[in-house]
Amino acid sequence: MNLFDLDQAEFETLFASWNEPKFRADQLWNGLYKNLWSAPEDFSTLPKSLREKIEQNFELNPIKTNIRLFSSDGETEKVLFDLVGSGSVETVLMNYDRRRTLCISTQVGCAMGCTFCATGQMGFGRNLSSGEIIAQILFFERVLVAQGDHVTNVVFMGMGEPFHNYDNVIKAIDTLNNAQGFNFGARRFTISTSGLVPKIRQFAEENRQVNLAISLHSTDDEQRSKMMPVNQKYPIDDLMKACRYYLMKTSRRITFEWALIYGVNDSEEEATKLAMLLRGMICHVNAIPLNPTTGYDGKATSNQRAIAFKNILEDHGIPCTIRLRRGIDIQAGCGQLASKNKTN
């Protein structure tokens, strides 16, 4: 079993079943999440017999580094991890001025089948456990701490649909948010979904401080269904109702993600339709020229068309940012993550 799959309460229950005092569970918890220890011998505060018992019953390294790639500008790193449980995932570290943002995977492959996304082109393998999600973050935190730095933001925008693995994603966030452990602020997490309406509503009911992003990409049901099959089950009107419900329950801003595809969804007319669709909502549009994948023929919009799209949104009072494309040379950009068989 993956040791990182246990939260603090489960650690305490486990150690009680082993007739160990509670402070031993606290020592293990602190070692994992405060000291970032990853090997049995690191836990020198625990008796040797207890360290051996933990090693016999648990996996302390649920992910194994396979390939590490660095972009030519040195601002992006992508790691291919082999999972002890089976399968592989990719995780990305992006450096921005003072921010160190991780793009985390939640599934091997993805069941959503978005046509422009390399992960969607793979199909679905399996869900990651909460511990496999956590392990990705702790790997990079160890790397950054060695450089005198820290992870500042975590976005669940890597491989997989986070809300398709809802319970494990939320458990990972809660574990990392625990003030007695890693103590990573809820507002520094962002979950991105392709539009699983029931889970958006559940997320709204829980009224968390975690940020929400919606991959939208079209204002037309027919077009969006071609790009994103999830739209056939949860069309745009249902999705917008869920988003407005989220805003009503939380008063927290939603980010709408928009891959600008030349001649598909980057026209001034489409920008006007998007402004009308989002009118009155507390939101922000994150637009990014499409990143290339081998399984999709669409092309990225031009800089001129992207700026025109942005200007129309802002003229209608919708804030919009054209995101920098990062790590394209190592296929680490949005929509480019896949298995080693696809990208390496």
What's the pLDDT band for 338 if we cut at 50, 70, 90? low
Residue in the structure block whose two tokens are 């071609």: 226
Q: Is 334 one of the catalytic residues?
A: yes
Greater confidence, 206 or 115? 206
Residue in the structure block whose two tokens are 């939603």: 254
Q: Residue 121 has what pLDDT?
A: 82
Sheet of strand 283-289: strand arrangement: 63-70, 76-83, 88-96, 99-103, 153-156, 189-193, 211-215, 254-260, 283-289, 320-322
Q: Is 270 one of the catalytic residues?
A: no
What's the pLDDT band for 334 if we cut at 50, 70, 90? low
Distance from C-alpha of 274 to C-alpha of 144, rounded to nearest angstrom = 39
Q: What sign for the dihedral angle of Cα 144, 150, 152, 153?
A: positive
Q: Is residue 116 a contact partner of residue 298, using CB atoms and an 8 Å limit?
A: yes
Residue in 103, 110, 243, 334 annotated catalytic: 334
| Tens-place pLDDT, residues 200-209 | 999 999 999 9
Distance from C-alpha of 216 to C-alpha of 194, rounded to nearest angstrom = 7
Sequence-ordered strand ranges (E) for 124-226: 124-127, 153-156, 189-193, 211-215
Distance from C-alpha of 131 to C-alpha of 111, rounded to nearest angstrom = 21
Residue in 20, 90, 132, 141 annotated catalytic: 90
| Domains of the chain from N-terminus onward | 3-57 (1.10.150.530), 63-343 (3.20.20.70)
Sequence-ordered strand ranges (E) for 130-206: 153-156, 189-193
What's the pLDDT band for 339 if we cut at 50, 70, 90? low
What's the pLDDT band for 294 if we cut at 50, 70, 90? confident
In this model, does residue 262 exceed pLDDT 50? yes
Residue type, 22: K
**What would the mean pLDDT of 290-316 be, rounded to a whole number?**
90
SS3 108: strand
In this model, does residue 257 exceed pLDDT 60? yes
In this model, does residue 282 exceed pLDDT 70? yes
Distance from C-alpha of 61 to C-alpha of 54, rounded to nearest angstrom = 12
With a pLDDT cut of 70, the percent of the chain lying above it is: 94
